[in-house]
Amino acid sequence: MRESVQRNAWRLALPAIAVVFALAIGGLLISSLGVSPWEAASTVIQAGFSCDSGYCNLGGTLSLAGPIIFCALGAVVSLRSGLFSIGQEGQYALGGLAAAVVGFAIPAPAGIHPVLCLAAAAIVGALWGVIPAVLKVYLGVNELIITIVLNAMAGLLLDFLVNYPLRAEASTVGYTPSIFPTARLALFDTSTKVGVGFVLAIIACIAVWFYMSRTTRGYEQRMSGEATLFARYAGMSASASVLRAGLIGGALAGIGGGIQVLGANYRVVEGFSDGTGFTGLTAAILGGTTAIGAGIVGILYAGVTVGAVNGLQIMLGVPREIGSTVLALMIVLVAVQAPLLTRIERARERRRANRVMAAAESPGRIGAPA
């Protein structure tokens, strides 16, 4: 019991230490600009998580968090299943484009139209996400390389379609026609555009957690990624798990793009692939590749992003890139914690084994003749 408590304490303490250390480095960077770190932190919190009678900054944070959470959940499913895919950016971009096309090209009733748009986003995202899974399972291709290439291909394909066949009108920047009002997601606050999209993200967090933790298929997904040999000897199909991970992860990231289009942009503009997929991947890693953790970190990441723009840059004149730097440091330090925790546990096991051996030898030493 005591050993279990100590092990869990270390697992909780190391991420907290990583976050504190990253914040300390960020504080030093801000201090170098002549700004108080405490004032900067207070400004970021106020600009990203506060509400008043005139404007609710928290609403902007939650609006931004919706797509990030969906991309993070897609990364969680992929990573936990042994598919080391970083293709959420391409899936997000093409999913958003598919939702926009259905939104402006296919008339439908108000209650059904958003469902059709999000279904199209999920299908396109799933098809794009399963490509690296198929290549890995049947050809042994490294999924990291494939997803990097697919992200670039998706961005170029989106820019081509937006500038030529789907272009709305002549302008300096290509963009699609605006979606029909019937395709738009309901909003709770029109000024911040927080609405049903964030609610769907929370529901998705619960659904992914339940699928991964409480279903047979989810158990197979986790075992295929965490204990491949055990899964194989238990009769589980690692190939099927990887293919499911590609489909489910791609669908979730694609829905994230659809949420952004239907809930905020209402069209796709050239450069729509803006890094949201990579932000979701970051949130998944920082959240310990768990659905609930990814959701929480997604909200925090969105809040820090909004606070860095509205607070640090506008109010204090501090470059917003410092906020991104702090988050990147958190990722690096959290990534270090896994091998560090392994080393700590091995050292504790060696000390425990030495104590057991010393205790076993001590009676013989006491009774031995002088």
What domains, with CATH codes, occur in the chain?
36-331 (1.10.3470)
Cα separation, 287 vs 43, whole angstroms? 24
Least confident stretch, 139-143, 309-313, 360-364 = 360-364
List the beta bridge partners of residue 194: 189
- The amino acid sitting at 247 is L
Cα separation, 341 vs 10, whole angstroms? 7
Over the stretch 178-195, which tens digit does the pLDDT of each residue have? Answer: 999 999 999 999 999 999
How far is C-alpha 19 from the geometric centre of its chain's CA atoms?
A: 17
Cα separation, 26 vs 148, whole angstroms? 29
Please state the rounded mean pLDDT for residues 60-66: 96
Over the stretch 208-231, which tens digit does the pLDDT of each residue have? Answer: 999 999 999 999 999 988 888 888
Token pair belonging to 360 = 């076993």
Closest by CA position to 75, among listed 215, 217, 212, 169: 212
- The answer to whether 118 touches 98, Cβ cutoff 8 Å, is no
Over the stretch 131-158, which tens digit does the pLDDT of each residue have? Answer: 999 999 999 999 999 999 999 999 999 9
Cα separation, 59 vs 200, whole angstroms? 15
Give the model's pLDDT for residue 14: 67
Furthest CA-CA distance within the chain: 101
CA dihedral 38→42→48→52, nearest 10 degrees, is: -170
Statement: residue 162 has pLDDT above 90 = yes
Cα separation, 161 vs 167, whole angstroms? 7
Cα distance from N-terminal residue to C-terminal residue, the chain: 40
Token pair belonging to 175 = 């963009």
C-alpha gyration radius of the chain = 24
Closest by CA position to 289, among listed 87, 148, 137, 84: 84
CA dihedral 270→272→275→281, nearest 10 degrees, is: -140
Please state the rounded mean pLDDT for residues 93-110: 97
Give the model's pLDDT for residue 313: 84
Statement: residue 370 has pLDDT above 50 = no
Cα separation, 143 vs 282, whole angstroms? 18
Q: pLDDT over 90 for what percent of the chain? A: 62
Helices (H), 234-314: 238-260, 276-286, 291-307
pTM: 0.89
Token pair belonging to 95 = 């999913």
